[in-house]
Structure 1
Amino acid sequence: MKKAVIFDLDGTLSDSIMSMKYSGDKTMAEFGYGPFSVQDYKYFVGDGAANLVKRALIKGGDTKLTHFEAAYARYREIFQANCMYQVKPYEGIPKLLEELKKRGMKIAVLSNKPHHATLDVIESLFGKDYFDVVQGQVDGVPIKPDPAGVFRILDRFGLTADEVLYMGDTATDMKTGKAAGAFTVGVLWGFRDRAELEEGHADAIIAQPLDLLKYCE
């Protein structure tokens, strides 16, 4: 029986693409690049802020990443002030979380977004202490797809990998969950498509949040 669910944040719990596009475009404009499309940002995101900036710079033509250090520092400043720009939970997510809590299941967030921004988003959307564990990117812990973050959450819960579901919207998430030994559930309402989730060897793929419940038994 599953006892917990670990959620990715961006593209899984929160529809946050416009916050990253807004901050990314403001940053890139200072270096003479962009703006970029929403679809572009759906592929810039997912592997941490540093990789988002690198991908945007390369897309803009800075293939040698000459401006990376300055652009990365600037992006972090801009994003810190705008991390909630047009961010909202996906339809059906609040109901899913409510149902999981009714069943006595623990819920956690594991994100490659900086930890302070992860907390800001979660607390703004769902309230303080709504999730049992919230883990964003911190120094000393490798980002996904390294499973270190999953193992930290499992230790907090006192659970083994086969007792949790890992839910996300990218191949990076599927690789993270599988590397930890968890059952992985890919979602179709996020930033990537079914083909990517299948290539990431998702154990299950769902189209609506409440569809997760069938895998909680």
Structure 2
Amino acid sequence: MKKAVIFDLDGTLANTIESLTYCGNRALQKFGLPSFTQEDYKYFVGDGSAVLVRRALTKAGDAELTHYDEVYEEYCRLFAKDCMYQVRPYDGIIPLLEELKKKGIRIAVLSNKPHENSVSVVETLFGKDYFDCIQGQKAGIPKKPDPAGVFKIEEYLGLAPEDFLYVGDTSVDMRTGKNAGLFTVGVLWGFRDRKELEDNHADVIIEKPAELLEFL
């Protein structure tokens, strides 16, 4: 039986697409750049805020990223204030987490969202100390798909790779889990589709949170 589950945050535990779109578009608009849809932002996200801004600028026609510094600074300012805008857990997530805790399964979050924002979102949605470990993007720790964040969680919990499930909704998540030698679970309620998860070698793909319990 598995002893712990590592969850991605955006698109896996929480539907954050409205907050990302809201902050991203406001940052772009401030400098006279076009806005984008939530569907666009589902493909901008996944590799951290700096990459999100680069992808948005590229789609806006600023291929040379001449507006990068000012848009990124504004995005970070807005996101620090409004990272919880319309954010909510996906249906079925809270019952899943409660069941995992009843079974004595440790639960952790690994996100490319800045660490302070990751902690804020998780603790606002689920409560302080609900998760055993929260690991967001920090200086000195490479972002996903580098497995360094996974290794930090393993060390903190005192568990081995074979003790974990790794759960996420994007190619970045599947590659992170594979790079760390974990069993990967792709989810279809998030930001990306089945083909992306299959192409990145998810061990299993699930449509509803409760299905995760079958793989413990």
* TM-score category, normalised to shorter length: over 0.9
By how many angstroms is 1:67 displaced? 1.0
Q: Which residue of 2 aligns with 1:166?
A: 166
Give CA-to-partner distance per residue, 1:8-58, whole Å, 9 cap, x none: 000000000000000000000012112101110000000000000000001
Once superposed, what is the RMSD of the aligned Cα atoms? 0.5
Q: Give the counterpart letter for 2:74 in structure 1.
A: R
Report 1:94-105 matches (<5 A): 94-105=94-105
**Which whole-Å CA distance do the structure 1 matches of 2:201 and 2:63 have between them?**
31
**Which whole-Å CA distance do the structure 1 matches of 2:209 and 2:95 have between them?**
8
Q: Is 1:181 aligned to 2:181, yes or no?
A: yes
Q: Which residue of 2 aligns with 1:139?
A: 139
Q: Which residue of 2 aligns with 1:114?
A: 114
Report 1:42-121 matches (<5 A): 42-121=42-121
**Which whole-Å CA distance do the structure 2 matches of 1:152 and 1:124 have between them?**
23
Could you say what secondary structure the match of 1:191 adopts? Answer: coil
Q: Give the counterpart letter for 2:119 in structure 1.
A: L
Give CA-to-partner distance per residue, 1:184-214, whole Å, 9 cap, x none: 0000000000000001100000000000000
Aligned residues: 216
By how many angstroms is 1:71 displaced? 1.1
Q: Give the counterpart letter for 2:211 in structure 1.
A: D
Q: Which residue of 2 aligns with 1:212?
A: 212
Unaligned runs of 5+ in 2: none
Q: Which residue of 2 aligns with 1:125?
A: 125
Q: Give the counterpart letter for 2:149 in structure 1.
A: G
Give CA-to-partner distance per residue, 1:134-155, whole Å, 9 cap, x none: 0100000000000000000000
Of 30-39 and 135-144, more deviation after overlay is shown by: 30-39
Q: Which residue of 1 aligns with 2:25?
A: 25
TM-score (norm 1): 0.99
By how many angstroms is 1:94 displaced? 0.1
Could you say what secondary structure the match of 2:128 adopts? Answer: coil
Unaligned runs of 5+ in 1: none
Could you say what secondary structure the match of 1:134 adopts? Answer: strand
TM-score (norm 2): 0.99
